[in-house]
Copies of this chain bind each other. A is one copy, B any other.
C-alpha cells in the first residue's frame, strides 16, 4: 500500500509526526487482524443475527493452537461485525485460527487488515455556481442531501459547519445519538448541518493494543477530513482568507447539504477494518453521497481492495461515491484503485493566482508568485546575485549573503529545495527563477520572496549584474482571479491507463484540486515563517486529488437533490458527459505534467466538471449492479471472489462482459499492427421531451471510427436507445497514444453528450 501525498508542506509535517508516533510501539504479536467475508445466505437458523453468528465463529476458535501470556491477545477476538457493504467480520486471529475460520460454514474469503493512507474557495465561482440560475437554485443548494465524509474526522467548531439556513429542515430521527462523544466531543456539537459524527478505531487498537489513543472521538486531529467536509458542503462563512490571500466568502459546493462524518483515519494509523466499519455504518445511516479522499497506491484486485468492496455496497444503495484518483502523477499508468462503481477524480488548477510583485530599481516590474503569510516589508533592499551561490542549495552557501539583501536563486536547483534552504537562512528575501510545474500547488512560502518565471529571469539577472547598486521592492498578499489558462491538469494528478482493469478509462473527470481554501483546525499549522515558527488559521489552502473528490461529492449532492430518482451511475454519467475539455481560454485543457501540452483523457477523464450543464445532461449512460458483476465474471474472478465483493448470490455470471455501459471509451492495442474493438452502449433520455440526437466524432489519429446508428431518435422521456462504436486501429508505430471523442448532439443544439475516446497500447501487467 502506498500513500497519496498531499502537495503541501503541511502534509509532510503530519507525515513526519505520524511516523514518530508509529515508531513508539512495535511489539512482536502472534495475532493480527483479518477481514473475513462470509456468505450470510448460509447462516445457520440457530443464530438470531449475523453478529451472533460471527461472534460464535470467533469464540469457537479459543481451543485452536497454543497461545502465550499476552493478556490482551490471549484469545481470538471479534473487532467488527459488518452487515451492509460487507457480510462478515474482522477479528484478531492467529494464523492457525485463520485457517480454522476458513473451514467454517459460510466462509467466503479472508485477508489481512491493511493500512490505508490519505489523498486536499473561489471554486464555486470558478465552477460558475451562482444563486440566480442553474444547479444551485434548482437543487436548493443540495438541501437535505446527506454527504458522508469518511476521513480523519471533523473540527465541529468551524463556522463552516454551523447550521444557519438549515435549521428549518427536520433532522431524520434515526440520526439521534450518532454524534459520538469522546473526551472532547460533545453531542451538542452536531446540528442540522453536521448531523452525525462517528469514529472507528477498534481495528487500529486490535492491531496496536498498547496504543494510548490521544483522541477517543470523531474530532479531527489532523485537518484533512475537516477540509474535505467543508469543500463538499461547508456553509457560508464571510471574510475568510489565508493570511491575506484568497479573501472572500468560504463555502462548499452544496452549502445546504448535510454532513455525516465517519472518522476512520487516526494519527496513530489507518486500518481497512476501521474503514470498512465506517462505510458499513454510513450505508446503514442512509447517506446519499460518499466522499473518499484516500486509497491504496497499489494494484489490488477488487476482491482484495477494501475500497472496491465497500463501495460496491454503497453503489447498490444508490450512493454516489466520489473517490480521489491519487497524487502519483504525472506518468501514465500511475493511477491505482480504478473502481468501476466509483467516480474517480483527477485534480486541476483554479483560475486564481497569489501574486508577488517585484519592482526593480530600474523601474522594471515583474509579476511573480508568493504566499508569504504576512505583510512583509521589502522596500528598496539591495539585490544580491552571485552565479556561484545562485543555486541556493544550502544554508551554508546562503550564510554568505548579506542579511539585509534579496538573494537571487536561479533554476539550476529544485525550487522546493531552495525554499527549504531559504527558510533555514537569514536572508531578508529571495527571488526564485523557476519553471517548476508544482509551484502553484504548495501553500508554503516561509520567507519573504517572489517566484518568477524563467522568461523574466534574464532581465533580472542583467540588472543585478550591471547596476552599481541594484535594489528591489516586493509586494505580498495579492490575489488575482481569472488567470489563464485555467483549469490545467495538475502535475501530481494520477494518470491512466489503469492496471487494475485496463478496459476502463480512469480517471473519470477532473475537478478543482489545487490550493483550495477550506476549513482547518486552528490548533494545526496552517503556514509557517522561517524554519519552525508555525501559524494558526481557521481556513487553509491545500492541494491534491483529496480536494478534488469532495468537489465532485458536493456536485453529486446537488444532482441528487435535483434528481432524487437517478442512480449513482446516472449521476456520474451526467457529470462526465457534460464535463468540459476546454479551459477558460476556450482552448484544450493543458497538462502541467506534460510541459503544458494538451491534457489527454488519461489525465483528466472526460474533462472539467460543469455543474450547471450536469443538471440537465439530456441523455445518460445508466448501469445496474449486475452489469458491474458481468465485468467481474469476464475477468475470471472466482465465485468466492465475486461473493466477497457482492455479498449476494443473487448476482450471476450468465452474461460475462468485457465492457460496461460507461460514458467513455478506451481501446487497447497489442503489438500487432491492427486492432478492431466494438463497444455497445445504451442511452436513456432524461430530457423532458422526445428528442433527436446526431453523432459527432473526433477520430483519434491512426484509427477509423464507425458509429451505428448515426442518429438516435427518442420518442419520450426515459426511452432507451442503443448504438455501437467500432474503432479500427492500424499503425506501424507502436506506443503512440491517440485521443478523440464521440458526442451525441441534440438537433436543436440544446444538449451535447460527449465521451472521450482513447486508443493506447495494451498495458503490460
Contacts and interface: CB of A to CB of B under 8 A. Distances in A.
A561 to B, nearest CB: 36
Number of chain copies forming the complex:
2
A532 B403 contact: yes
Interface in A365-381: 373-377, 379
Interface centre among A379, A426, A530 (most CB of B within 10 A): A379
A377 B523 contact: yes
Interface in A452-493: none
Contacts of A536: 375-377, 379
Contacts of A404: 532
Interface in A597-655: none
Contacts of A428: 532-533
Contacts of A526: 377
Interface residues of A, number: 25
B530 A530 contact: yes
Contacts of A531: 426
Contact of A534 (B377, B426, B523, B525): B377
Interface in A212-231: none
Contacts of A373: 374
Given A373-B374, A374-B373, A374-B374, A533 B523 contact: no
Contact of A535 (B374, B403, B530): B374
A426 to B, nearest CB: 7
A532 B405 CA distance: 11
Nearest to A429: B533
A537 B448 contact: no
Interface in A145-166: none
A523 to B, nearest CB: 5
A524 interface: yes
A719 to B, nearest CB: 58
A379 B426 contact: no
Interface string A157-187: 0000000000000000000000000000000
Contact of A532 (B426, B525, B529): B426
Interface string A555-567: 0000000000000
Contacts of A523: 377, 379
A377 B533 CA distance: 8
A535 B524 CA distance: 24
Interface string A371-404: 0011111010000000000000000000000011
A344 to B, nearest CB: 35
Contact of A533 (B376, B379, B532, B537): B376
Given A374-B374, A377-B523, A523-B379, A529 B533 contact: yes
A358 to B, nearest CB: 15
Interface in A398-453: 403-404, 426, 428, 447-448
Contacts of A534: 376-377
Contacts of A535: 374-377
Contacts of A403: 532
A524 B377 contact: yes
Nearest to A404: B532
A536 B477 CA distance: 11
A375 B537 contact: yes
A378 to B, nearest CB: 8
A533 B373 CA distance: 12
A352 to B, nearest CB: 22
Interface string A515-550: 000000001111001111111110000000000000
A560 B443 CA distance: 54
A374 B529 contact: yes
A420 to B, nearest CB: 16
A377 B524 CA distance: 7
Interface centre among A404, A533, A537 (most CB of B within 10 A): A533
A377 B525 CA distance: 7
A36 to B, nearest CB: 40
A428 B532 CA distance: 7
Given A376-B535, A377-B525, A379-B523, 20 more contacts: A374-B374, A374-B529, A374-B535, A375-B535, A375-B536, A376-B533, A376-B534, A376-B536, A377-B523, A377-B524, A377-B526, A377-B534, A377-B535, A377-B536, A404-B532, A426-B532, A428-B532, A428-B533, A448-B533, A529-B533
Interface of A: 373-377, 379, 403-404, 426, 428, 447-448, 523-526, 529-537
15 contacts: A374-B374, A374-B535, A375-B537, A376-B533, A376-B535, A376-B536, A377-B523, A377-B524, A377-B525, A377-B534, A379-B536, A428-B532, A428-B533, A448-B533, A530-B530
